[in-house]
Structure 1
């Protein structure tokens, strides 16, 4: 028949969605088929003949059986995928996350599949999600910049087809995590007390409505830190929300200065995620070019004054959680830092700026110490290292003298501005002088040409450490500040405790130290900390510092001076939202457990492990 008169081919079963139909099915076992005899099989192998003769009875799978098995598998798989999609949808709703994937199955079904390709559903992003595809931006060549401009400034990315994320959906009050009244109480404790310990990150006083409008991340940070210091049962929920919202900002191109404030707040008080928060804050601050606002700030522009001020906060916070831990700081000695003294002369500068700049000065010296001596704790001091240490010590003395006289009482935090300078001074000195213990127990340590200098530095380190502890034990005002100071101070106290106990336990002969006096000092510190932390939230880092100090003291005391070992000296935190290891600094004296407390990178502690 002529092909022109042939009827069109009927649609195949594959195109119609039905599988091929095989009418002949295999029902006989292999043994009976081989003998070409009837196979009597009722409920499956073995058949009656094989069972009677004791033969192996198997049935080969036919094409029909394979197709039926495949169809059954496909049905079950589709059912499981639908169940999985439903579960993910519930999780996304609970966390207020945009839908991760939205498959347009109708378009995929209507569109013919290209020859030789496998069917793949089209992927569309949620309308509330930013599109991070390789082709959603372009570059504009800017010829308005001068020939002396920074190379990267002549091109600027222009985002196309990008949908702004609906941040209102992340508001923890709107989502019902906490009520507006609870959020107000958390904001009150933060603005009336906590914010003044860190030089007013929030700046001018704001209302709850302004915070909610500014940034859901800022609202979550303030509520989390406020809940922690009010010992609120809502702390865990707020903490989880802060972590979740922070994660959504990781790849966002819509971050603002308010988000930088939020991350700094989290870094100062939430010890378990401090390093992560400040890392993100530095990155976003750099993207927003906060470090370049200093030039217009010096010209009197208030907006750039506020941006520069926030950059100084980022700088201080970054150094809190870098230098003391042996990590290179991410913020450097740039134009903004070098112009910090001139910044105080601008028309918008206030008293809190002076407190903030005193920290910039302290940590600028800390940066020089870090860059000069590095992190090689196995290298003993040589003669050419002694004079730099003395020069840095003089710089710290000058900073303390100037700012102690310069700062005055604060209506919110009393005499903390001046007393805080003293605490920071002693810790900076302890960090500097502990370099004397580098290489202890190694060949070349305390060589004849530096032996007397090392003795002097070592005793100065011990003096600084005991000064920190005596301030805490003897000053009621400082004790009142402890439930509010950033976690940096908690770690400062913990390090001073470990330092003096290690000296009195192992190096009393090498360093002039009254062991009994040290033990009495630490015992008094434990008493004070237990009293201060009795009403604190169990997640407050100082609670663990008090517990750990008590346990360490019991271990180094002679048997006749020991009291009953505390039953709760080692408390295992079971909540999944925290790193348990951060909350116990006392699990092993002759081990590496101190590293878990972010303390292993302190110079003195590192060298002590070698000598243990």
Structure 2
């Protein structure tokens, strides 16, 4: 069989005799003018509405003549036949590749008639085409380099048929969502600043042409770049395009490492879809074997070095949005994670890799915290939990001591590499020590055998929370980072505000705290955040965090101290809708249960102040 076959559809012959009927008089006047028998002057380019209908506010439409109908029908059929011939040519090449000689043998003579197909549906011009997905065929693989101890699934491989590449149709520059110059500006915003907060997800510096090889990566970079450009009009459209492209590639068999990079970028900065993007990134990275590249990376192969560092980025991203939200992480301590320190001995490793590995170690400890203490926020700590908690706290101290002095100033993000270690340390320490408040108001809370330990841990949690707030209030360089740091920082800043206000109003009798100093600190923080967010894009998450913190502080002013009998806690996260980045409207109880935020409500209305007010005051309202 040759690589091409003759089309079963013959060249189209005229269907109206020897030639289509000629109707020399074409209708150019609209129906309203024809009815009144007056001259019809059409608008620009001869298109309705005409001058008379526009002036009188009348509906204006030109009835199609028979000639126009016939011409439209002929043009459509010619287009369909061209597409069918192209499809047949492609199928012939596939059949030839798979030695399917009889692929067209069952086309009988009756099929030689012109095909009657329904008219094509109108495209909305928004959603990219979805790759057609068909069931896999599999073949047995005999790998001469593989021994009997090979992974069982490695002996079969899916047969992926060649298909049309939809990537050009998904490209947001090709679709005229943004121009080349606009996309290049957003790439510069991302690549010259944001990428250096996350240890260079893009890796080596890239041109726009290189980024465009993955439409998903291009859309993510443009959406995040637009979010961090205050006057950008493209954030909403780039965001929606990214969501459409990501949805279209859900079942794709042709995902690349650049697609993983695009999903990570979206997860770190687009909070409403972070968890969905993380899940897809983890699935694809394990599907293409990033976690197995560590062995060849340690042997000095640069390509596998790049794949391994991308896997570490996926690991960190996964833990940002799993451990902190009380979800089991999808990536665990496997060989790649255990070999993170030897990875730094590679000839290719630099300071960004050291920063990345420090995060891997922080979140490895975070996973241990999650696995040790679980998510039951109603269960008070008992004596058997105290020593594991102290050991994990010592681990955090060691990580901070090991890494703080190793980092120098970065030409893109200043002293963030060093200061970021301190912020992450206090985030994780607050997460760990806030467990001292688990089960507060329940039987067994602060039992005599753990009372002193609970008090110590509670005060340690408060110290870390206030350290976070003071770092933002007092350090102008950290303030300059806020319009660029990933949303995890906004989340932890919000948690620190909730924590100190909750403790200072409701649990002041349990810890040593100067309530007036705490409220003054939060007031200073709100002032700083209002100044910082005044030049941010209105959809930035920190804009809503600022508004919510200010509202919460106002609700707490003038509250006397007291100790209620219980505490019911919830907090909500942004959802994928119009209010995606307006979480201040969500801090009122319509929320999700966050396990380590379990005793703290981010409230913004009077009805839910019972979370902060003592029982006696609440009854008087």
State the TM-score, normalized to the length of structure 2: 0.73
Residues 297, 308 of structure 2: 8 Å contact kept = yes
Bigger drift between 252-261 and 399-408 goes to 399-408
Residue 150 of structure 1, CA deviation: 1.0
Residues 437, 607 of structure 1: 8 Å contact kept = no
Residue 586 of structure 1, CA deviation: 6.1
Superposition pairs for residues 456-535 of structure 1, below 5 Å? 456-535=456-535
Residues 228, 484 of structure 2: 8 Å contact kept = yes
In structure 2, relative to structure 1, the CA distance for the partners of 1:163 and 1:555 (3 Å cut) is same
Does residue 1:198 correspond to 2:198, yes or no? yes
Q: Deviations over 1:340-391 (max 9, x none)?
A: 0000001110110001011001000000010011101111111010001110
Superposition pairs for residues 318-337 of structure 1, below 5 Å? 318-337=318-337
Residues 195, 201 of structure 2: 8 Å contact kept = yes
1:584 equivalent in structure 2:
583
Q: What secondary structure, in the 3-state scheme, does the structure 2 residue paired with 1:139 have?
A: strand
Residues 505, 559 of structure 2: 8 Å contact kept = no
1:296 equivalent in structure 2:
296
Question: Which has more radius of gyration?
Answer: 1
Residues 229, 537 of structure 1: 8 Å contact kept = yes
1:220 equivalent in structure 2:
219
2:597 equivalent in structure 1:
602
2:229 equivalent in structure 1:
230
Residues 436, 454 of structure 1: 8 Å contact kept = yes
In structure 2, relative to structure 1, the CA distance for the partners of 1:600 and 1:397 (3 Å cut) is closer
In structure 2, relative to structure 1, the CA distance for the partners of 1:532 and 1:611 (3 Å cut) is closer
In structure 2, relative to structure 1, the CA distance for the partners of 1:509 and 1:425 (3 Å cut) is same
What CA distance in whole angstroms lies between the structure 2 residues aligned with 1:420 and 1:275?
Answer: 23
Q: What secondary structure, in the 3-state scheme, does the structure 2 residue paired with 1:580 have?
A: coil
State the TM-score, normalized to the length of structure 1: 0.74
1:150 equivalent in structure 2:
151
Residue 405 of structure 1, CA deviation: 1.0
What CA distance in whole angstroms lies between the structure 2 residues aligned with 1:321 and 1:364?
Answer: 14
Q: Deviations over 1:149-193 (max 9, x none)?
A: 111111111123x41432011111111111111011100011110
Q: Deviations over 1:226-280 (max 9, x none)?
A: 0110121111111111111111110000000000000000000001111111110
Q: What secondary structure, in the 3-state scheme, does the structure 2 residue paired with 1:138 have?
A: strand
What CA distance in whole angstroms lies between the structure 2 residues aligned with 1:269 and 1:222?
Answer: 10
In structure 2, relative to structure 1, the CA distance for the partners of 1:130 and 1:249 (3 Å cut) is closer
1:382 equivalent in structure 2:
382
2:276 equivalent in structure 1:
276
Q: What secondary structure, in the 3-state scheme, does the structure 1 residue paired with 2:600 have?
A: helix
Residue 130 of structure 1, CA deviation: 3.8
Residues 130, 249 of structure 2: 8 Å contact kept = no
Residues 549, 586 of structure 1: 8 Å contact kept = no
In structure 2, relative to structure 1, the CA distance for the partners of 1:581 and 1:228 (3 Å cut) is closer
What CA distance in whole angstroms lies between the structure 1 residues aligned with 2:221 and 2:209?
Answer: 13
Residues 131, 249 of structure 2: 8 Å contact kept = no
Residue 143 of structure 1, CA deviation: 5.0
Q: What secondary structure, in the 3-state scheme, does the structure 2 residue paired with 1:578 have?
A: coil
Q: How many residues align?
A: 476
Residues 539, 581 of structure 2: 8 Å contact kept = no
Residues 140, 158 of structure 1: 8 Å contact kept = no
What CA distance in whole angstroms lies between the structure 1 residues aligned with 2:226 and 2:602?
Answer: 39
Residues 282, 330 of structure 1: 8 Å contact kept = yes
Does residue 1:445 correspond to 2:440, yes or no? no
What CA distance in whole angstroms lies between the structure 2 residues aligned with 1:108 and 1:172?
Answer: 44
Q: Deviations over 1:493-513 (max 9, x none)?
A: 000000110111100111111
Residue 487 of structure 1, CA deviation: 0.6
Q: How much is the aligned-residue C-alpha RMSD, in angstroms?
A: 2.8
In structure 2, relative to structure 1, the CA distance for the partners of 1:129 and 1:228 (3 Å cut) is closer
The list of structure 1 runs, each at least 4 consecutive aligned residues, that deviate by more than 4 angstroms after superposition, is 107-111, 126-129, 598-601, 606-612
Does residue 1:305 correspond to 2:339, yes or no? no
Residue 128 of structure 1, CA deviation: 7.3
Q: Deviations over 1:89-124 (max 9, x none)?
A: xxxxxxxxxxxxxxxxxx99967xxxxxxxx99xxx
Structure 1: stretches of 5+ with no match in the other structure:
1-85, 87-106, 112-119, 561-574
Residue 577 of structure 1, CA deviation: 6.1
Q: What secondary structure, in the 3-state scheme, does the structure 2 residue paired with 1:147 have?
A: coil
1:367 equivalent in structure 2:
367
What CA distance in whole angstroms lies between the structure 2 residues aligned with 1:434 and 1:607?
Answer: 16
